[in-house]
């Protein structure tokens, strides 16, 4: 999972109100060169959406985002999630993912949280909310202390600042919701999503993707 994300440089963060939109959205992302989707558990349709993608598009790396509890992690993994992303650092969520041999990427925004994650054996962390937590300057400062920790900034990342993040050696990839606008999904404009994914991949290609 980590090697694919490192190669792609972008992890689309997807909010779905209807499970039937899951496969078309993931297929559009793949058509644009991003066969990965973090389905956030913010809607009742999320778990079924993960299940549909896992079954219909096995070549897509599907994960669950906004995972707040170990129970949610377990349900997402049962649905087919191959990675678990949380807004914060919660040990039971990390352990639930480890038991299932699924990658956990908890969110951090301070040196204290990163140190706690480091002592849990975690070396890939979500930096969230990235822009409000200091953005690229903060990540550069953290690199001097946590030399073996890498980050997936999410929250406020956009095409305008994507390069600022991807140019940092301690950034593996960026998470972003701009790739899957809700209005495009609800209108069935999946070509728009494919175009946005292709544009993001082209931008990421400048940084070795």
Q: For residue 208, what are the CA distances in angstroms to 55, 123, 169, 172?
A: 31, 21, 11, 11
113/126 Cα distance (integer angstroms): 11
Q: For residue 188, what are the CA distances in angstroms to 81, 138, 145, 195?
A: 24, 38, 46, 14
Contact 24, 190 (CB under 8 A): yes
Peptide bond preceding 75 in cis form (omega within 30 of 0): no
With b meaning 16 or more CB within 10 Å and e meaning fewer, what string describes 173-186?
A: bbbbbebbeeebbe
Sign of the dihedral defined by the CA atoms of residues 59, 1, 182, 74, in that order: positive
Catalytic site residue 38? yes
Choice among 9, 51, 74, 126 that is catalytic: 126
Catalytic site residue 126? yes
183/203 Cα distance (integer angstroms): 23
| Token pair listed for 179 | 């790739």
DSSP for residue 1: -
Query: How would you class 26 by CB atoms within 10 Å of its CB: exposed for 0-12, middle for 13-18, buried for 19 or more?
Result: buried
Choice among 9, 38, 51, 131 that is catalytic: 38
Q: Which residues are catalytically annotated?
A: 38, 126
């Amino acid at each position: 999972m980590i090697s694919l994300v490192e190669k792609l440089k972008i992890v689309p963060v997807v909010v779905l109100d209807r499970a039937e939109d899951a496969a078309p959205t993931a297929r559009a992302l793949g058509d644009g060169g991003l066969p990965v989707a973090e389905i956030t558990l913010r809607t009742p349709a999320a778990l079924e959406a993960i299940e549909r993608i896992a079954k219909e598009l096995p070549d897509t790396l599907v994960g669950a985002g906004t995972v707040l509890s170990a129970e949610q992690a377990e349900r997402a993994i049962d649905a087919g999630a191959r990675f678990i992303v949380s807004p914060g650092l919660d040990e039971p969520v990390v352990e639930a993912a480890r038991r299932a041999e699924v990658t956990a990427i908890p969110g951090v925004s301070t040196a204290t949280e990163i140190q706690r994650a480091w002592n849990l054996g975690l070396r890939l962390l979500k930096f969230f909310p990235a822009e409000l937590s200091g953005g690229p300057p903060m990540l550069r400062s953290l690199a001097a202390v946590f030399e073996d920790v890498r980050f997936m900034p999410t929250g406020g990342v956009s095409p305008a600042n994507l390069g600022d993040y991807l140019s940092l050696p301690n950034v593996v990839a960026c998470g972003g919701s701009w790739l899957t606008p809700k209005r495009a999904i609800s209108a069935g404009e999946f070509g728009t999503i494919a175009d946005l994914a292709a544009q993001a991949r082209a931008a990421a290609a400048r940084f070795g993707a």
